[in-house]
Amino acid sequence: MGHLSTHVLDTMHGCPAAGMKITLQRVEGAHAETLREVVLNPDGRSDGGPLLDAGSMAAGRYRLLFEVGAYFRARGVALPEPAFIDTVPVDFGIADADGHYHVPLLVSPWTYSTYRGS
């Protein structure tokens, strides 16, 4: 049963990115449709299950928007204006709607990395 999940770790503070807002979009050409907006829980994950469950998984192009600048400002981090990293967009494809797609993000105000997790 396919699903999409994420997990965000704050590498500056060495903890999950609790309170970070993320937006999930489906991308078709130049158009992006917002499917879901969530605020991450204390574990840096979305409450209420996966971002896409088995019933809503479909092959296609997607985008996750991670509101990194707002998260670090809320934690009291003094960022330049404009911030070096403000919103991190991660564009990815789902080829197998029955697969498990996990998109983790490791982030600080100055760098980020992502990969297809398990």
User: Which pLDDT tens digit goes with each residue over 24-58?
Assistant: 999 999 999 999 999 999 999 999 889 999 999 99
Q: How far apart are the first and last CA of the chain?
A: 14
Residue with tokens 């564009």: 91
Please confirm whether the linkage preceding 80 is cis (ω < 30° from 0). Answer: no
Q: How many CB atoms lie within 10 A of CB 98?
A: 10
Q: Rounded distance, CA 51 to CA 23, Å?
A: 10
pLDDT in tens, 69-108: 999 999 999 999 999 999 999 999 999 999 999 999 999 9
Q: What is the reported pLDDT for 1?
A: 81
With CA atoms as reference, report the closest residue to 34 among 54, 64, 56, 5: 64
